[in-house]
Amino acid sequence: MNAEVRAMKTAAEQTLSVAFAKARGTLPGGKPVAALREGAFKSFEARGLPHRRVEEWKYTDLRALMRDAAPLAAPPDAAARLHAKDAGKLFAGLNCRRLVFVDGAFVPEHSDLTAEPGLTVASMAGALAKGDPLVADVGKTIETDDVAVALNTALMGDGAVIRVAAGAALKRPVQLVFASSGAKPSSAFIRSLVVVEKGAQVTLIESHEGGDNQVNTVLELDVGEGAQVGYVKTTQTAGLHVGSLLAAIGARATFNSFAFNADARLVRNQMFIRFNGEGAHAAIRGVTLAKGKDHVDTTLLIDHAAGFCQSREQFRSVLDGESRGVFQGKIVVRQHAQKTDAKMMTRALLLSEDAEADNKPELEIFADDVVCGHGATTAAPDAGLKFYLMSRGIPEAEAETLLIQAFVDETIEEIAHEGIRQALMFAALKWLGARR
């Protein structure tokens, strides 16, 4: 007689099951969306929260780190909405269109909804409730079996739905500001969809900030043929943040992304990027500044599914205290994706003997006419350079700060938009100044 073996559910998994059972009838969307939710949650229940025995999550054991699941966030009240007025301070001096969300819910009164040719903006909750054709295929931009994405699909509430019409060139960046009211611990499942049609141009900023909340966010990004997209994500939160980017890049399109993590307690940012057409270019970069017991995980899957494409991945981490930085990057080159040019590099700077950097770059190549490479380095600040600066009369602490600043700015300088570049350089300098 064979006994069936089942893994015991953790407290967090049990809470999520109860939350879905209670919320399934109130979540936005018609029957097709409800069926999609049911299938996604069954997928989550079958596997549970990801843990260290799942290769892609081996360095971020969410089952162990997430002891309990916070209740789903209630719609923000007047006080919470007022709190959103000061959200997005990092880019306060930047002339951009801000779309503000509090506890995962859209706040139109603090958002810039002025009309602009070629731009359509809506809330995900509203689009799902109305059966908007644009969100009919939500989840189809890139299909993945990632359990965090499945959980988001099951419980997705609100987010942004943005369409940039073919040939349109938006003059201002579009900033999605996701803030926490801080009233009490809660969880939010945010889903956004951005469709950039053929030949269009847009700069998109996604900002996450807040207190001790749990956030699972997914951004689907469909980049059309010949389009140009700049994407910047900043994460500054004291809670748990799991973010997923699902990006499909069309032929001859250009996609430049940058991830900035600072003062982030527990973050997992994962990107699933696929080249759908020939001749596309992508530059995927990021900087992590961690201290105390911060844990920041950056995981990439770059799928070269078409030939004659180029990708560049460059990430840098500065780790102080007992912080931990994780980088997992995998480049896959399909058999028919000849003439692929892909390079990946991650560098970690350890400021403490107790800090830890886990780097795992990978290549999986099935084509024979490609140029691909990867590398990883981990080191302390250069003692020789530090001594040189001190010999010129610069105090030790300031000398070390200058070296770290140069290390970080070398990557930030690659951002094309001057206002965004300057804002992130200032934020990095502020973080460095606070540790002295």
Query: Which pLDDT tens digit goes with each residue over 120-130?
Result: 999 999 999 99
Q: How would residue 78 be classed by pLDDT, with cut points 50, 70 and 90? A: confident
**Residue 313: is its pLDDT beyond 70?**
yes
Helix, strand, or coil (residue 269): strand
CA-CA distance, 273 to 282, in Å (whole number)? 9
Name beta bridge partners: 289. 262, 318
Q: Which tokens hold the place of 161?
A: 């739905």
Residue-averaged pLDDT of the chain: 94
Q: How would residue 415 be classed by pLDDT, with cut points 50, 70 and 90? A: very high
**Residue 79: is its pLDDT beyond 90?**
no
- Angle (CA) 265 267 268, round 5°: 165
**Residue 166: is its pLDDT beyond 50?**
yes
* Percent over 90 (pLDDT), the chain: 88
Q: How would residue 8 be classed by pLDDT, with cut points 50, 70 and 90? A: confident
**Residue 198: is its pLDDT beyond 50?**
yes
Predicted structure pTM score: 0.95
What is the structure's pLDDT at 77?
A: 86
Beta strands in 305-382 (DSSP E): 310-319, 324-333, 341-350, 356-365, 371-379
**Residue 4: is its pLDDT beyond 60?**
no
What is the structure's pLDDT at 2?
A: 56
What is the structure's pLDDT at 5?
A: 46
What is the structure's pLDDT at 6?
A: 52
CA-CA distance, 153 to 142, in Å (whole number)? 13
CA-CA distance, 161 to 174, in Å (whole number)? 12
**Residue 267: is its pLDDT beyond 70?**
yes
**Residue 297: is its pLDDT beyond 80?**
yes
What is the structure's pLDDT at 85?
A: 73
Q: Contact, 232 vs 204, CB < 8 A?
A: yes
Please tell me the least confidently modeled range out of 36-45, 183-192, 325-334, 348-357. 183-192
What mean pLDDT do residues 293-313 have?
98
Q: How would residue 203 be classed by pLDDT, with cut points 50, 70 and 90? A: very high
**Residue 291: is its pLDDT beyond 70?**
yes
Give backbone dihedrals phi and psi of 266, rounded to 5 degrees, phi first: -140, 105
**Residue 101: is its pLDDT beyond 60?**
yes
Q: What is the 3-state secondary structure (H, E, C) of 85-139?
A: HHCCHHHCCCCCEEEEEECCEECHHHCCCCCCCCEEEEEHHHHHHHCCHHHCCCC
What mean pLDDT do residues 134-154 have?
93
Q: Which tokens hold the place of 410?
A: 């070398």
What is the structure's pLDDT at 227?
A: 98
**Residue 173: is its pLDDT beyond 70?**
yes
Q: Within 10 A of 136 (CB to CB), how many other CB atoms are there?
A: 13
Q: Within 10 A of 363 (CB to CB), how many other CB atoms are there?
A: 15
What is the structure's pLDDT at 102?
A: 94
Nearest to 99 by CA among 116, 87, 83: 87
What mean pLDDT do residues 59-84 have?
89
Helix (H), strand (E) at residue 383: helix 383-391
What is the structure's pLDDT at 201?
A: 98
Q: Contact, 123 vs 109, CB < 8 A?
A: no
CA-CA distance, 371 to 266, in Å (whole number)? 35
**Residue 96: is its pLDDT beyond 70?**
yes
What is the structure's pLDDT at 108?
A: 93
What is the structure's pLDDT at 93?
A: 87
**Residue 1: is its pLDDT beyond 80?**
no
Q: Which tokens hold the place of 275?
A: 């080249």
